[in-house]
Chains A and B, each alone.
Chain A
């Protein structure tokens, strides 16, 4: 059998066909920072250094998917503070005062000082890796709302002031649509991150009452533009799996607290599943544990295609390189279609 490209493998999964093997998604960009002599903070404030790490990681582990590094979403507080200190008018003010919602104006991402470089990075990465399935991240409405208001306050608001929550989610939905549309114009696929929408943080009641309609609207908008949508919700989603499987996304990116077996059963191959090896295994797992997890995921979900092997979420910065390699090699070994 010929060797397929990463893009072809993912397309085969999306078309419910078989390529040479199960596609593998392995994002180990940050873990190559020490290899190239960078700190994590340097990566988060210098997109070019992040890109160098991405290239280096892909040379060693040629993942079938690549995520465009999000330079405007630094995860370390130090990096975030440096980025915000260098900018005027940060586009994501904190809504400790709910009345500040009326003052928010959604940026034009094609011109905004923070989004415009990200769009440029999308174009660059897409051109560099045209045989690979390239994704760029945008936050879904609920997650954007929790960033602006804080998850705790927003949860309280769902009872204390539900109208405010809907108003905020309306703003966040328009913002998500605008950013996603601009990202899609660069030719990459959308990774829709709703990191705070799982039942590890909220309840099915909040999901159904507040999250679902805006997520649905966003997905319908993107599908109307012909965009492939990969939805990731960190944590435990079993109680809302049927609803997520019915959203109309192309790929559900499953974290390890959730049941792969259940999602396979619920989705009936109507959606591609990506996942869901536990991320802590990359830091402290044994070879046997990692291989066992990879094999288990493939045996559970790869039959009938529509499956991409990946870690359940972002792998920790202290992931052992030997564990990353173990995952990769196990994916190649157990994922070969006979």
Chain B
């Protein structure tokens, strides 16, 4: 079994300390940063995403795997620019106004970063104008929103409207997710995409940017 496959397996198993140790070992042996990233960390997280979609594992296992991947990413991120690995694009991400739930958002952040995106994480309780301001500041083409409860879902629509009022319709795509959000809801409020889980979010973002 290759060294990178062992890293991937330990990501799948959620072994953060082991992933960190193996990632460092791989770097010390001169394996290229992008190889460790793609064939170790991203490959492992990709398997986790597939298992989650097939309902073989649940959110906690994804969280542990994401934590393990993050442990490896912590060593690679400072080296990625020097290695000539370019970002696939920028995404502004946040939990909507009034909502303090962030597990889903945090997972999507890790998955997107692992996939090569630059994520501007606005945190929780994000008013519509903060999304607008972040898009302007970072020139991000994608906005991702998370909401977990029915009382805060309406702010997804409010944020989309705010982006439109700021003249960003068509230029900025929106993707939404959260336990009670549905494709139907996304269609009705004019979101460009809906993701039922973090792994799907990465696929949908790539599609929105024409990368797949």
Contact = CB atoms under 8 A, between A and B. Distances in A.
Interface stretch (B31-39, B41-49, B100-108, B114-122): B100-108
A175 interface: no
Interface string B89-103: 000000001111111
Interface residue range, chain B: 20 to 34
Where chain A touches its partner, the secondary structure class is: loop
A155 B60 contact: yes
Find the residue from A40, A206, A280, A314 having the highest chain B CB count within 10 A. Answer: A280
Where chain B touches its partner, the secondary structure class is: loop
A170 to B, nearest CB: 21
B60 A30 contact: no
A155 to B, nearest CB: 5
A318 B153 contact: yes
B150 A203 contact: no
Interface string A197-208: 001111111100
B85 interface: no
A204 B157 contact: no
Given A151-B103, A280-B153, A200 B125 contact: no
Contacts of B152: 75-76
Contacts, number: 89
Interface of A: 30, 40, 75-78, 151-152, 155-156, 158-159, 199-206, 234-235, 257, 278-280, 283-285, 313-318
9 contacts: A152-B63, A203-B57, A257-B180, A278-B182, A279-B150, A283-B154, A283-B185, A285-B184, A318-B153
Given A156-B64, A201-B59, A280-B180, 6 more contacts: A40-B151, A203-B57, A205-B58, A283-B188, A314-B151, A316-B150
Interface of B: 14, 57-61, 63-64, 67, 97-103, 106, 124-125, 149-154, 157, 179-182, 184-185, 188-189
